[in-house]
Amino acid sequence: MPELPEVETTRRGIEPHLEGRLIKDLIVRQPKLRWPVPEALKGLVLGNRISSVSRRGKYLLLNLPNGAVMVHLGMSGSLYLVPADQPAGYHDHIDLILNSGMALRLTDPRRFGSVLWQPLGEAHELLSRLGPEPLSDDFTVDYLRQCCSGRKQAIKQFIMNSQVVVGVGNIYANEALFKAGIHPKRAAGNISLLRLSRLVDEIRTVLAKAIEQGGTTLKDFVGGDGQPGYFKQQLNVYGRGGESCHVCKSTLKEIRLGQRSTVYCPECQH
């Protein structure tokens, strides 16, 4: 599933091609995505100009004068800029036709993505309960300490909760906890302020580095410019269970937490 760096990479890739462009048409070939595409969506977007493309968590927002088109890539979705007359493939479900002669095309083989509408001045219910952005000033050690207080849940599952902080998916939770030296099963409420401070720093660092390098290439993901990400080359633990730790050479352990693969170093993480 594309995580925050992949979604941000896509946002940066498509925004220069969308900003200021007029929407001439909306073609919905398959409305049955994770949630049905709103029947009124075409009437809401037609003839409007895209002012910007923003991101909230893993949602991309195409901002219009009367609201925003909310796009989630799901597990296998991708957005491409293609000529508007380019024939659609079997998994090409939605085209947003622009006055530039190009189309923003959503391709989603598994159809777990979504295209929804957020009226101007309102927060869609899917966005209203999200926690702070991890790269924003709102995500601080004091905030995280307050959230963790008294919590017995494993810290890895805790930081992957989008109501605590958005966009820390499985890959980057594994990586940040390794860099912070924290065992993924440690109870969130049993971590010192100093170690939480380091965890906040490492979450910021690992996400920022991944964004700089275009996200992580895993199976279906490519950025909005059609180019894959390159952060996978720098992964310390994710996907490396049974291999040697880059730091201490111990064998990395792989377990399941919340039905997600979790890899850690038994010597470096406590």
Binding-site annotation: residue ranges for DNA: 91, 110, 151
Residue set of the binding site: 91, 110, 151
Please state, as a whole number, how many other Cβ atoms lie within 10 Å of the Cβ of residue 29. Answer: 12
Using the 8-state DSSP alphabet, how is residue 41 labeled?
H
What sign for the dihedral angle of Cα 250, 251, 256, 261?
A: positive
Name the nearest CA neighbour of 98 among 67, 69, 55: 69
6 is catalytic: no
Q: Give me the helices (H) in 100-168, please.
A: 125-128, 141-148, 155-159
Using the 8-state DSSP alphabet, how is residue 163 labeled?
T
**262, β-bridge pairs:** 255
CB of 185 closer than 8 Å to CB of 156:
yes
39 is catalytic: no
CB of 211 closer than 8 Å to CB of 44:
no
Of 58, 105, 156, 179, which residue is the catalytic one?
Answer: 58
Record the tokens describing residue 163, joined without a space: 């109501």
3 is catalytic: yes
Please state, as a whole number, how many other Cβ atoms lie within 10 Å of the Cβ of residue 127. Answer: 18
Of 2, 5, 134, 184, which residue is the catalytic one?
Answer: 2
HSE-CB at 35 with a 13 A cutoff on CA atoms is 11
Of 111, 186, 253, 260, which residue is the catalytic one?
Answer: 260
Sheet holding 78-83, edge to edge: 23-28, 92-98, 102-107, 78-83
Q: Which residues are catalytic?
A: 2-3, 58, 260
